[in-house]
Structure 1
Amino acid sequence: MTGYEVSRPLLDKIDAREQALTREAEQVRTLIDELAAKLRELDEAIDHLQITRKTLVSLAGEDDAEPDAPPPTLPGHPAYQQILTVFADLGRSLRTRDLCQAMDLPVENIENIRSKLKRLVSRGILDETEPGLFTQPRP
Structure 2
Amino acid sequence: MVSLPEELQAREAAARQRMEELQAEAAELAVRLERARADLSRWEITRETVVQVLAELSAAEAVPEVVARDASDPKDAPAPHGIGVMAVPPWREGLVAGVLPDVYRDIVEIVADAPGPLQAKQIVPRIRLEATTAKIEGTRGKLKRLVERGWLDEDTPGRFTLARHYGDTGRVNSR
**TM class, shorter-chain normalised?**
0.3 to 0.5
Q: Larger % of helix: which?
A: 1
For the pair shown, the structure with the greater C-alpha radius of gyration is 1
- TM-score, normalization by structure 1: 0.44
